[in-house]
A and B are shown apart, each in its own frame.
Chain A
């Protein structure tokens, strides 16, 4: 149920991102809502279920956007693994610190994929623009907090429990290592 629910939620986010939030074909102010979902799954859920959700969604995104097939699955899976790795390694796991990490991760992974793609297929991509990419990373950060709350709520609903594990668990005094 969790996988199916999040798959359709991801589909809805992709739909929103490619239609309602794109005012015109050159609009660059549409937030990458799907990347927020990627980050949420990386931070909050296990690898297997997350990848089962992300692979087909990334492929759908790939079909709807871009010209190079396989670019978006690479970008999103790379982003997922990076955030998963950092969430496991970083000593601080508070949401307050995790949210900016999503923006940083988004920017880093986008840049990496762009560099690789521009080497592989030069003159296919629109030139890299730092102001635009910083703005998009900022939009991802802005959207992350409310979307994370919504995803938490949605997750509880699809898993059939109203009070999540994180809520009822007694927290230790050490907020850096829990």
Chain B
């Protein structure tokens, strides 16, 4: 009995569902037809549908992106070691290149300065490079890569772009020893550019000169330029030597006590110019004299 009673409503519901489905499909078809053949207006229903579908699309798109990103990360991870090695090698190469460029730039600046100096002075000069330095603490000399074969001879002045460096002390066919101007045994005839007072500049062994024989009545101030006097004929006139850094007037004595800071930085000497001029050497006294034309 129960079975029979329950079968009847099931059949009714099935028919109702069928009618509802057909009704829904017809409605949808009608909407489709109206929207397609009608005014083509994006109405509230379309908006509603878009709003309903949008989040789904968004979630799916994000999921897809995440998956793609994960895949990419995995692939990257597989190649990252090799990439890392390659990048390190590239970085090292770039760094080396950068150092080389910087060095080339510094060399270029230095050599340009030397060239400018050479062109300004109009004196015959030979370029030289320091290849050795005196390791003792008692002398101040350097070895250069030019010798008598290059026209270098004893007594010649040695300069760089900043000013006077020293004097050639001894020569072999391919090399020469240069006595630096700051050596205690070095002495030069100099002029104070402003007051034209003449004195003797002596080395102290330290990167500072001592200027002697400037009378107390001379006008000397800190910052005055000191240049070669050119009286001895070894150093051409007007080569920069340094700047007066200290002037002391003591009660006793006729002369001022003057300290001069060298124009040349003796801590960074590298490239030099030897001023080629004919000199005769008096062997008996070991002195050097310029050739008088």
Contacts and interface: CB of A to CB of B under 8 A. Distances in A.
Counting chain A CB atoms within 10 Å of each CB, the highest count among B132, B136, B139 belongs to B136
Contacts of B169: 67
- The interface residues of chain A, by DSSP majority, are classed as loop
B132 A18 contact: yes
Contacts, number: 81
Interface in B168-193: 169, 177, 179-180, 182-185
- The interface residues of chain B, by DSSP majority, are classed as loop
Contacts of A18: 132-135, 143
A173 interface: no
Given A65-B141, A66-B141, A127-B205, A25 B266 contact: yes
B131 A19 contact: yes
B163 to A, nearest CB: 15
A90 interface: no
Nearest to B131: A19
Interface in A60-94: 63-67
Nearest to A14: B135
A96 interface: no
A55 to B, nearest CB: 19
A137 B272 CA distance: 33
A67 B141 contact: yes
Interface stretch (A42-50, A128-136, A164-172): A128-136
Interface in A1-53: 17-19, 21-22, 24-28, 30, 32
B168 to A, nearest CB: 12
B139 A65 contact: yes
Interface of B: 130-143, 169, 177, 179-180, 182-185, 205-207, 266-269
